[in-house]
Amino acid sequence: MYPLLFRAVLSRFDPEFAHHAGMAVIRVLGRPPFSWATRAMTKPDPSLRVDALGLSFPSPFGVAAGFDKNAVGVRGLAALGFGHVEIGTVTAVPQEGNPKPRLFRLIEDRAVINRMGFNNEGADAVARRLAKLRRGAPDTVIGVNIGKSRVVEVHEATADYVASATRLAPLADYLAVNVSSPNTPGLRGLQAVETLAPLLRAVRAASGSTPLLVKIAPDLPDEEISAIAQLAVDEGLAGIIAHNTTISRDGLSTDSATVEAAGAGGLSGAPLKERSLQVLRLVRTVVPSDFCVIAVGGVETPSDVKERLAAGATLVQGYTAFLYRGPFWGREINRGLVGR
């Protein structure tokens, strides 16, 4: 029913407006008594519990960063059955992001192009919200994804990341360093091992006991992905998130004029499935068996999640398919995983 509703009605709205409208509903679902009724329908089966990062996840399936940039919908997303919520990307300095329009649907491909540009309220505002959340939803697993502030030069990025980590790590269940978004100038250059190593070292020191992960891009050559995975192990990180959006436009069904009109930005959704599996399998050949690998990209169905878990993912995240499959997507995934 939801796919028909989406095509007939929701797809007519501006994507960013539709996202904010949907988030308003999700926020309501996170408040009693709505949250009680929602959880009764969506609570993951106890057999799906996963222990990772020193934490207990009620399901291996969670929400990727980008959906809830400012930690406003965490309670609602948890009520909808997601095993964890990774908020952000959060920057030390508040920023509006790139000019609108900056979010585009490719409906035929069940995909999205975004060039949001880390629009968020900043580390201080998000920290205050997280502190309040911790009092009201202590059992929800919350990851915090941090990125470079746009006003900060690339050569000063380490201090900027450290500022965010210092403010947010004490309130996060885990922290993810985002050096892989294509929408902040110069950011992906930080993935070079010689640059990334001191950055991760400094952020890890600032994060204290909070598990630290790094999120990589799918567009890197395989040898660079392997090198970053090894670096994450050598630097004592808790895990790696594979992966962010892609700048590739290969293999799309949407007509080229529509794709070109959307312009620059990161592509997410179903077209990333094959590369996502390749990167996951590559990373798993490098890191130890107990090293946390979070797989993200092209995940739509319970079968997709099962495939990622079978390929070595510790946890799996999704985002884009939420737009196409509707509010009970998390429940659909969890029910399909029972007895896997």
Residues designated as active site:
181
Strands 111-114, 266-269: pairing kind = antiparallel
- Cβ density class 130-144: b for 16+ within 10 Å, e for less: beebeeebeebbbbb
The two structure tokens encoding residue 86:
């990774």
What backbone phi and psi angles, to 5 degrees, belong to 11? -65, -15
Q: How many whole angstroms from its chain centre is CA 326?
A: 18
Query: CA–CA separation, 216 vs 176, rounded Å?
Result: 10
If we measure between CA atoms, which residue out of 49, 123, 69 comes closest to residue 91? 123
Asked if 173 and 292 count as a contact pair (C-beta separation under 8 A), the reply is no
Query: CA–CA separation, 82 vs 307, rounded Å?
Result: 18
Using CA atoms, how far residue 220 sits from 12, 89, 318, in Å, is 35, 21, 21
Query: CA–CA separation, 169 vs 112, rounded Å?
Result: 30
Handedness of CA 134, 332, 311, 90 (dihedral sign): negative
Strands 174-178, 142-146: pairing kind = parallel
